[in-house]
Copies of this chain bind each other. A is one copy, B any other.
Amino acid sequence: MPTSRLRDVAERAGVSIRTVSNVVNGYAPVAEKTRLRVEAAVAELGYRPNLLARNLKRGRSGVLALVVPELDVPYFAELARAVIMQARARGYTVVIDQTDGEPGREREMVMEGSRGALFDGVILSPLSLSQAELAERDSRVPLVLLGERIADGGFDHVAIDNVLAARQATEHLFSLGRRRVAALGDQPYETGETAQLRTRGYRLAHEAAGRPVDESLIVARPRFHRSDGAEAMRDLLRHPDGPPDAVFCYNDLLALGALRTLLSQGFRVPDDVAVIGFDDIEDGRYHTPSLSTVAPDKHQIAQLAVERLVARLDDSDDSPSELWAAHRLEARESTMGFTAARNPAP
């Protein structure tokens, strides 16, 4: 069965191509009788508009690109899900590209513009592209930055208040009586803005509590996978002053890795060492102990990003805006301990 075109439907219904187009798109006024005839023909032939042609004509593709480092990192998977839902609600399709942190791919997707009109806008969670590089972008295609970057005003930008969130996480640990709180995941270089914000929050918490920061408890990691957390925790356990009594990890994967190291070496969590993460991935809830974490409102992040992007498609000379999504602290067993006899499963 060869795909039928507008022309075939027109022939069958005995009307002009244009009229069929009008019916299909609900554009111009069409007489009831004609409409029914056309609709019948559409149904009989199983006509489906060729979106390629439509988009070419309209100059829009109806496709948004979501560019993330790795799709199998739960945070990005959960975010992707939310973005897809938001986009769908507005009639857009989403293509997802993974950059694997390769600057080349990230640049290709974002800088080279539009992949030839294949998508109308880009939502980017940057990993390797620096602000400086981004600034050179010739913005044929609207771009919304996701995740957290120090704003330079050049782009639309959706983020949570990382400084505050990190401060709250640290203060949560303080409030439980922890004295030596390690920070795991600092990235003291150009593309590590998010991590730096969290470190700032960590420092602020110390300052507010009148405690000095032990610089040797701030551990840098270029990547945030479980294995990195496990490894970093092993290092921390060899600290000359002994293990810290709490660890604030800059994402949940690091925290789960750290958890694994602690438990497998016989440490009790949280009794010996309390652990808190960041991102609130679903998995953390099912570990034992369940993982305390900072929970960014992913749904809201996706909503703000897609909304902003779609708005920009219609109205490109609006000035870039800074959008803030909510977050909250989820205190679970890895900091609070096991209540009562035993916790019921969630």
The interface of chain A, by Cβ under 8 A from chain B, is: 1, 3, 46, 48-56, 61, 63, 70-72, 74, 77-78, 80-81, 84-85, 93-98, 112-118, 138, 140, 226-227, 230, 233-234, 256-257, 259-261, 263-266, 282-283, 285-288, 290, 338, 341-346
Contacts and interface: CB of A to CB of B under 8 A. Distances in A.
A236 B116 CA distance: 56
A221 B283 CA distance: 20
B61 A70 contact: no
A52 B265 contact: no
A46 B63 CA distance: 22
A273 to B, nearest CB: 14
B230 A257 contact: no
B230 A286 contact: yes
Contact of A138 (B1, B80, B81): B1
Contacts of A257: 286, 345
B71 A74 contact: no
Given A94-B95, A265-B342, A72 B71 contact: no
Contact of A96 (B84, B114, B260, B283): B84
Contacts of A97: 84, 93
A301 to B, nearest CB: 14
A84 B61 contact: no
B345 A286 contact: no
Contact of A52 (B61, B256, B338): B61
21 contacts: A1-B138, A48-B113, A49-B116, A52-B116, A52-B117, A54-B116, A70-B81, A72-B77, A72-B81, A74-B77, A74-B283, A77-B77, A81-B98, A84-B96, A93-B115, A226-B282, A256-B286, A257-B286, A264-B342, A264-B345, A283-B283
A105 to B, nearest CB: 9
Contacts of A118: 51-52, 93
Given A80-B96, A259-B288, A260-B288, 12 more contacts: A52-B52, A52-B61, A52-B118, A71-B71, A74-B283, A84-B97, A226-B286, A233-B345, A234-B345, A256-B283, A266-B341, A283-B283
A116 B77 CA distance: 27
B72 A84 contact: no
A117 B97 CA distance: 20
